[in-house]
Chain A
Amino acid sequence: MSGVLVIAEQRRGELRPVSLELIGAAQALRRSADEVAVAVLGTAPEQFVAALKLAGVDEIITVKVAAAEFDPDTFEAAVGALIAERRPAVVLVAHSIDAFGYAAALAARLSLGFATDVFKVERIDGELVATRGGYGQKVNVEVDFPGRSTVLLAIRGSAYKAPEQAAAPRVSAFAAPPTASRSVGRGFSELSAADDVDMSAAEFILSIGRGIGEESKVAQFRELADAIGATLGCSRPIADAGWLPKSRQVGQSGKTASACKLYIAMGVSGAIQHLAGMKHVATIVAVNSDSEASIFGVAKYGIVGDIFEIAEELRRYF
């Protein structure tokens, strides 16, 4: 058992950026003799080879499968066969929606050591140790995998950096076993835009979360956002409740605040899915009554206090 096998992720003809971060994670746990191989699955996997020729990659494996897009049965069969042939010590996948659909099944079926949402990997006294969050990210949990010759880890997005330098790894093709898939993709759609806001283009966002308590309070924050010149955004519970359109949701399944420079979060506790969409913003100000809220862990500035009181006081300046 040696080497690291990275499973790259692609969707609709594009390599997902998190795939390259996995190559970064692989460097953190490779031993001197370990090779890092990156496998990419698809109907025409060769198209992704050029983008994967990066420092730290020894081999790119193209795996031609019948399904153009992610399908659990196809991935489990192909990746399972690849693991059986290559016998890697570690398999890295992204902690992504696609991986949610097959990684646990693969680990269960092949009895692989297994951990998800891992943000740190290391070897301690030669043993593989993965660190993840627990109890709503309030604690860190180190897990190990006694007796497992292959360990499958799902790595959290943005935990590792993608390599920037190019390299010239060898390229090989792996013949995946034919799979009778029990589900079939029927196509993609975008969430219908209920208003014309583009959260990813907004430079200044005022975001509201569960802390606003009730729908009737939305109006006063909308008014505040207008007054200070911010785009009004929200966390998942607000969009799920229908208080604001889904297009205003910032986070993993919503929009990423890509262009944002100033992000004010009011009553947002900071679930990991929300942080995924905004923690990169240069200036984050969090206002929350709970001094232990996770949002204070990523914010530059914080106010522990009542969001309504702060909102009211703030309004007087604009």
Chain B
Amino acid sequence: MKILVAVKQVAALDEDFVIREDGRDVDADYLIRDLNEWDDFSLEEAVKIKEAATEAVEVVAVSVGPEEVDESLRKCLAKGADRAIRVWDAAIEGSDPIAIARVLAAVTKREAPAMLFAGVQSSDHAFASTGIAAAAFLEWPHAAVVSWLGYAPGAKSTVFRRELEGGVLHEVEIQSPAVLTIQLGINTPRYASLRSIKQAAAKPIEVLSPADLGLAAGDVGEAGSLSRVRRMYVPDKGRAQLFEGDAAQQAKRLAEIIREFKGEST
């Protein structure tokens, strides 16, 4: 029994970043990379299932990206993944989430897991699309924003709760194999121990190309995408009026606003 966990190495902007010359992305030198916050929770969910199971469960982390993504995959290995797979080729550059989903679906077909987990969304571009699009390519049942999961390895169906707007939960039963996108807060992700970080460093990361997975050149990159970035720019933001002075003076202004509000409402 196997659970595949799709993870993404996200990028945050450095304080002083510049837009690339072609105007379609940020210069990569100004990006700070890390494992997507949501993926920490979906990996933990898989590892928890593995630890609670009576049968052997293998947790495999998969990511699409260049060599630097190995750092995030090592994090997954240190936190309990048994194996890691990275798919890359220069042709994948410029892929939108749908093209990435096609790659993930191809890996999933090869690995044939009982479940594919993905994060609800990524903290950088927040498409909230990749996992569910992969389900379409796989023709698997799927559900998004899972905040509670009662999955028993090998079961033909599983019960979970979707976290809806406004603090409402929707309980659903779904056939497996399925693709589930996992919400923050479903569990408490563990910290990797020094020992497990050391062990993870020695574990191999399997590297595949789209061709290894039977994908054609047109399946990935801009050709395999449903959208194209036209322009990226820094918006003119509505900006708060900042209080000047030191902390004492700033707090005084804030106290005045509170007093004024209370005067109005009482």
Contacts and interface: CB of A to CB of B under 8 A. Distances in A.
A72 interface: yes
Given A136-B12, A303-B250, A102 B132 contact: yes
Contacts of B143: 72, 101, 183
B239 A108 contact: no
Contacts of A252: 165
Interface in A186-225: 186-191, 203-204
Contact of A297 (B96, B132, B237): B237
Chain A at the B interface: SS class: mixed
Chain B at the A interface: SS class: mixed
A261 B81 CA distance: 47
Interface stretch (A57-65, A111-119, A161-169): A111-119
Interface in A109-152: 109, 111-117, 129-130, 133-136, 138-146, 148
B42 to A, nearest CB: 14
Interface residues of B, number: 83
B101 A302 contact: no
B168 A188 contact: yes
Interface in B197-231: 226-231
B72 interface: no
A286 B254 CA distance: 10
A88 B178 CA distance: 31
Interface in B2-20: 11-13, 15, 19
Given A113-B227, A136-B12, A301-B241, A261 B261 contact: yes
B153 interface: no
Contacts of B137: 108
Interface stretch (A27-35, A39-47, A305-313): A305-313
B135 A105 contact: yes
A298 B238 CA distance: 7
Interface in B120-171: 120, 123-130, 132-133, 135-137, 141-145, 159, 161-171
Contacts of A97: 144-145, 162-165
Contact of B229 (A135, A142, A262): A142
B52 interface: no
Given A182-B175, A299-B240, A310-B247, A146 B228 contact: yes
Contacts of B13: 135-136, 138-139
A303 B165 contact: no
Interface stretch (A48-56, A171-179, A239-247): A239-247
Central interface residue in B13, B129, B184, by most chain A CB within 10 Å? B129
A96 B253 CA distance: 38
B73 to A, nearest CB: 22
A299 B237 CA distance: 11
Given A286-B240, A296-B240, A139 B135 contact: no
Given A145-B228, A190-B168, A304-B242, A183 B251 contact: no
Given A101-B144, A104-B98, A108-B101, A255 B173 contact: no
B54 interface: no
Nearest to B142: A72
B5 to A, nearest CB: 18
Interface of A: 11, 16, 69-70, 72-73, 76, 95-98, 100-109, 111-117, 129-130, 133-136, 138-146, 148, 182-191, 203-204, 228-230, 236-237, 239-241, 246-247, 249, 252-256, 261-262, 264, 272, 283-287, 292, 296-306, 309-310, 313-314, 316-318
22 contacts: A11-B164, A70-B170, A73-B141, A95-B128, A104-B98, A105-B135, A114-B129, A114-B227, A133-B126, A141-B125, A182-B178, A191-B169, A204-B258, A204-B265, A253-B183, A262-B257, A262-B258, A299-B240, A301-B242, A310-B250, A310-B254, A313-B247
Interface of B: 11-13, 15, 19, 26, 96-98, 101-102, 120, 123-130, 132-133, 135-137, 141-145, 159, 161-175, 178, 181, 183-185, 188, 226-235, 237-243, 247-248, 250-255, 257-259, 261-262, 265
